[in-house]
Structure 1
Amino acid sequence: MKILIVEDDKNILKLLSDELRSWGYETSQIDDFNKVKDEVMDKCPDLVLMDISLPSYNGFYWTQELRKVSKVPIIFISSHTETMDIIQAMQFGADDYITKPINIAVTRAKIQAILRRCYDYKLASDILLYDSCSLNILKATVTYKNTDISLTRTELMILESLFQAQGEIVSRDSLIEKCWQSENFIDDNTLAVNINRLRKKLKDLGKADLIKTKKGLGYYLSEEI
């Protein structure tokens, strides 16, 4: 999913870009604030984060212009918290409103909700999130702090099961069945070898302790303390 950030404050732009990428989204920004409409149409984002206070023309103007040619979901970003500003934003065609200073947790929740609503976005199967890590199923990558690593098919399937469990224990048998369902005589050692290889990759990513073993039961994801 591609998100275009229309924001002239470089600090906020960097904050949003870094966070969005860590969640597995692709991001882009506006190069010319006199051509916001043209750039949105050219970049074809799945969602736009639109600041209200912009050079030349404000976010209200550009949202009104965009609504003449596009139904792309738009979330306003503004330091204005007055009810009338929020109402006006919705009247001009915005889908939601985020106030500054930006609350990252709220921002993430609103983005996910709008993508699900507008695109039947399959968050649970395309991008999985756990403890600041994102697992991109389509790209077969896991990302942490803007760094990603590529996964083999088996490693991806193991992590997909663990991410879906969200810290709950996943049994060895269920992992073996998921990864090698068409093969016979796969033993627990084969799974252990793949888990160890995956742990080495996660260590390089800075998440050495992400996968934990529950003796006699299986594996689970642990949160960073």
Structure 2
Amino acid sequence: MYKIFLVEDDEKLNEHIKEYLQMYDYEVYVVEDFKNTEKEFEFINPDLVLLDINLPYSDGFYLCRVFRKKSNVPIIITSARTAEIEQIMGIELGADDYITKPFSLKMLLTKISAALRRTNELSNDKKSLKINGLELKESNFRINYKDREIELSKNEFALLKKLVENKDVILKRETLLELIWDDSEFVNDNTLTVNITRVKNKLKELGIEDVIKTKRGVGYVFAFGK
């Protein structure tokens, strides 16, 4: 049974979400003390986090950053903030998805199921992928190059893996969106741009620059060595 950590201060919404998800055999934990949300997160060790932004004592963006530093658990932000910059910020801080309120519980369930499935698919594949000295370690979402190693988020790793596996082939934006978000029609296109930029920056930290090329109006191509 998957454990869901519900970080939301609307009691009625908490009740509705908890009852609905329990019908689908999810174990739902609601925050008991917002002053100790970080400790509750560590104690529960959830399989997925549903995270609101407007919270008592600390906002969801801060908690998203904290959770991401501690774990690669999927994080879905649920917020009434609809501005594009808010959604971009959430993704940049490590969230896997962003749902604006009001949302249907059926849509929430779909996103939860998709996020958990993607996590399992990546976690179950323990192989490493190597290309010209760059190694992608699928067991822990880390990449290694010339004795330097850095960790990627689940989505960043999935995008880089797809690009590497299709070296020198242009992958359409729609293909990459569907790889990470099953219902890509509901995802802001900037979400993909943000994630690709984060991948580029992490490669740069390893000393690898300009290997992900943007093909305007089409998509991206990974060009690294021969």
Secondary structure at 2:46 match in 1: coil
Give the drift of 1:59. Answer: 0.4
Structure 2 counterpart of 1:48: 49
Secondary structure at 2:35 match in 1: coil
Give the drift of 1:106. Answer: 1.2
Any runs of at least 4 consecutive aligned residues in structure 1 with deviations exceeding 2 A, and if so which?
none
Partner Cα separation in structure 2 for residue 91 and residue 69 of structure 1: 16
Secondary structure at 2:99 match in 1: strand
Structure 1 counterpart of 2:14: 13
Give per-residue Cα distances to partners, 1:3-27, cap 9 Å, x unaligned.
Answer: 1100110011001101100111111
TM-score, length-scaled by structure 2: 0.52
Q: Which amino acid aligns with 1:74?
A: I
Structure 1 counterpart of 2:4: 3
Secondary structure at 2:41 match in 1: helix
Give per-residue Cα distances to partners, 1:147-188, cap 9 Å, x unaligned.
Answer: xxxxxxxxxxxxxxxxxxxxxxxxxxxxxxxxxxxxxxxxxx
Give per-residue Cα distances to partners, 1:184-218, cap 9 Å, x unaligned.
Answer: xxxxxxxxxxxxxxxxxxxxxxxxxxxxxxxxxxx
Give the drift of 1:102. Answer: 2.1
Give the drift of 1:120. Answer: 3.0
Identity of aligned residues (%): 40
Tell me the matched-pair count: 121
Taking the TM superposition and a 5 Å limit, the aligned residue runs for 1:55-134 are 55-120=56-121
Structure 2 counterpart of 1:183: none
Partner Cα separation in structure 2 for residue 69 and residue 81 of structure 1: 27
Partner Cα separation in structure 2 for residue 108 and residue 84 of structure 1: 25
Secondary structure at 1:3 match in 2: strand
Give the drift of 1:64. Answer: 0.7
Secondary structure at 2:15 match in 1: helix
Q: Which amino acid aligns with 1:114?
A: A
Q: Which amino acid aligns with 1:42?
A: F
Give the drift of 1:31. Answer: 1.1
Partner Cα separation in structure 2 for residue 96 and residue 102 of structure 1: 13
Structure 2 stretches of 5 or more lacking a match? 123-226
Partner Cα separation in structure 2 for residue 71 and residue 120 of structure 1: 14
Partner Cα separation in structure 1 for residue 15 and residue 39 of structure 2: 22
Tell me which structure has the larger Cα radius of gyration. Answer: 1
Q: CA-atom RMSD, angstroms? A: 1.2
Q: Which amino acid aligns with 1:46?
A: D
